[in-house]
Amino acid sequence: MTWPIVGQHQFLRPFRDETSSPGSATVMTDWDKIDGYGLFIRTDPFRNGLHYPAVLAELGDPNRMRILDVGCNEGLFPRLLAAQGASVVGYDAAPERIVEAKQQEQTRRLGIQYHVATPRTFASAQTFDAAVSVMVLNYAPSIEDLAAFFSSTERYLVPDGRFVSVVLNPAFSAFGEDFVVRRINKLEGRAVRMEFFDDDMSAPKLAAIQHHYTREEFERAAVHGGMRPQTWKDLFATAAAVAELGEDFWRPCHRAQPYALFIARKQS
């Protein structure tokens, strides 16, 4: 079996590792330049069997909810939400990914609005019942940039509205271990290198630089952005994902918990 590889774009600024040797991973987080990203994300087991279900479970029934997707990329998660009755707006800094998202909307009209924007440039006349992000916040290169995600999102949430985010788990420590389609290596300071694999584990196909924030840093950024940290949750694959790929595939991820769900609420 081959698992296509998926990464999340570098949301705030591009990064390229010029030290990469020929034949090694394409190390860049300017996902706007990577062809076939939509195919990757549509079939990635971590997105579809772990990340998205965790956010959906936290949201509850999204029917009639107004949802903002922060860092929506090519729009897969907005489409999943809209197909269940949500009214969705998504924004992303990568123009080509938004072009792809709009093309998907033309093919299957779900009423989703897409914008090319960053947390500091996004603007909307709408307010939202909830906001979501999936492996986006850890691309913030500083606490100030991390707080910008929360302050921007808070501006458009209704009172007591939730911001539900899948993030790199602050408690994660299994650096260098293999998670079949991922490996996370510790670099200097907060920086980590997220590597993406298919079933050939000899060399990663893609890699991206993220930042490993502590729980206290996430919560401080949320408070600075006008939000109230609510809870943290571990992530476990759905029963369907375990049945499809097997317990051996998911066991390392369940044990080491590389990802976590962080929920913050707008102050009433």
Read off the pTM.
0.88
Tell me: the pLDDT tens digits for 124-151?
999 999 999 999 999 999 999 999 999 9
Q: List the structure tokens of 239.
A: 């029963």
Paired tokens of 59: 């949201």
Alpha helices per DSSP H over the chain? 37-43, 45-46, 52-59, 76-83, 95-107, 143-156, 215-224, 239-245, 247-256
Tokens 């999102």 identify what position? 153
Q: What is the pLDDT of residue 32?
A: 54
Instruction: Tell me the pLDDT tens digit for each residue of 21-61.
Output: 334 444 445 555 555 556 667 888 999 999 999 999 999 99
Environment class of residue 232 by beta-carbon count within 10 Å: exposed (0-12), middle (13-18) or buried (19+)? middle
Residue pair 215/232 in contact (Cβ under 8 Å)? The answer is yes
What are the chain's domains? 32-171+214-266 (3.40.50.150)
The pLDDT tens digits of the residues spanning 96-121 come to 999 999 999 999 999 999 999 999 99
Residues 47, 136 contacting (CB under 8 angstroms): no
Flag whether pLDDT at 8 surpasses 60. Answer: no
